[in-house]
Amino acid sequence: MPHQAVPSVLQKIVDTKRQELVRAKQQQSWHDLEQIAATNRDDIRDFAGSLRKAGIRVIAEVKKASPSKGIIAPNFDAVATAVGYEQAGAACLSVLTDTDYFQGSDAYLLQVRQAVSLPVLRKDFMIEPYHILQSRALGADCILLIMACLSDAQVAELHELALKLGMSVLIECHDEIEVERALRLPAHRQNVYGVNNRNLHNFDVSLDTTLRLKTLFPQDSLLVTESGIHSAEDVKLMLGHDIHAFLIGEQFMKTGDAGSALAKLLAQSQQSA
Ligand SMILES: O=C(O)c1ccccc1NCC(=O)[C@H](O)[C@H](O)COP(=O)(O)O
């Protein structure tokens, strides 16, 4: 664990992950995962590369529920949502696989990855190398590393393994200390740095977090602003600060037609952007 106080929700989720790992390892050994990942080896999509392309790049999130909002999408359909996002112009997808807190599922990741041609992030709380290999075996093109729930040694180990498996890595930060720690990881073109605008201690969301922390990253860093993007004004604010990549879930999912909501946001954001 890192030296700072870990937000209680995160601590709870990480404790659950430890229990899940015990069961998962009984069902599928490291060797099993290695074999599946080996058959998937050539089937990997360039997540970071897609975000580097010109224009507004949205990682559209397939998200049924969350600890802060409860159920967001009562008529949730992971595959229909993903296909809608792809048709609407998403750059990449994010699929929540955590069951207890987000009502996600590994099955959604497998199904979505097959139904679209976009690169897909496995959005979960990764704490052990097993999670990284498991993600690749499920078809993930990118994994998430949350600095707030990992020590420097853990993050270095998970980062190295993800890159070895050919995946991109979304390295998520919430404050200055986490950015400083994240930037000590080896530089790599598959590194994507996320600034999460959601304070995990109280769930408050402030886009100022991204604007404040952005100045700490080297200029050529691939930066994604995460959480709390609700409008074209929010997108334009970020574009004005040279941030072109966005991770957005709730705003789309709560409408019941996530793809159309993404198309609308892109169209409105491109007006005089
Ligand atoms: O969304 C939550 O309530 C949450 C609570 C605790 C840990 C993580 C949480 N969210 C994960 C995310 O990072 C968001 O799903 C993602 O950035 C999209 O955010 P939004 O557009 O606000 O749904």
Going by C-beta distance under 8 Å and a sequence separation of 6 or more, which residues neighbour residue 4? 148, 177
Domains of the chain by range and CATH? 8-270 (3.20.20.70)
**Using an 8 Å Cβ cutoff, are 72 and 96 in contact?**
no
pLDDT reported for residue 271: 85
The distance of Cα 92 from the centroid of its chain, to the nearest Å, equals: 10
Half-sphere exposure of 245 (CA within 13 A, CB side): 23
Going by pLDDT thresholds of 50, 70 and 90, the confidence category of residue 6 is low
More confident residue, 2 or 109: 109
pLDDT in tens, 15-50: 999 999 999 999 999 999 999 999 999 999 999 999
pLDDT reported for residue 31: 98
pTM of the model: 0.96
CA 75 to ligand 1 center in whole angstroms: 19
Ligand 1 binding pocket includes 194 (Cβ within 6 Å): no
Residue 273 has pLDDT above 70, yes or no: no
Under DSSP, is residue 144 helix (H, G, I), strand (E, B) or coil?
strand
Residue from 62, 185, 38, 82 nearest 124 by CA: 62
Structure tokens at 164: 């070895």
3-state secondary structure 86-112: HHHCCCEEEEECCCCCCCCCHHHHHHH
Ligand 1 binding pocket includes 226 (Cβ within 6 Å): yes
pLDDT in tens, 154-171: 999 999 999 999 999 999
Residue 61, H or E segment? strand 57-62
Give percent of the chain above pLDDT 90: 93
pLDDT reported for residue 8: 87
Residue 3 has pLDDT above 70, yes or no: no
Going by pLDDT thresholds of 50, 70 and 90, the confidence category of residue 201 is confident
pLDDT in tens, 112-147: 999 999 999 999 999 999 999 999 999 999 999 999
Going by pLDDT thresholds of 50, 70 and 90, the confidence category of residue 202 is confident
Residue from 77, 192, 70, 85 nearest 141 by CA: 192
CA 130 to ligand 1 center in whole angstroms: 23
Q: Which residue has the tokens 């496995």?
A: 122
Going by C-beta distance under 8 Å and a sequence separation of 6 or more, which residues neighbour residue 69? 250
Residue from 88, 102, 161, 108 nearest 130 by CA: 161
Residue 1 has pLDDT above 70, yes or no: no
Q: Which residue has the tokens 């190295």?
A: 160
Ligand 1 binding pocket includes 97 (Cβ within 6 Å): no
- Average pLDDT over the chain reads 96
Residue from 228, 219, 200, 259 nearest 81 by CA: 259
pLDDT in tens, 50-103: 999 999 999 999 999 999 999 999 999 999 999 999 999 999 999 999 999 999
Assess: ipTM above 0.90. Answer: yes
Q: Whose CA is nearest to atom 3 of ligand 1?
A: 68
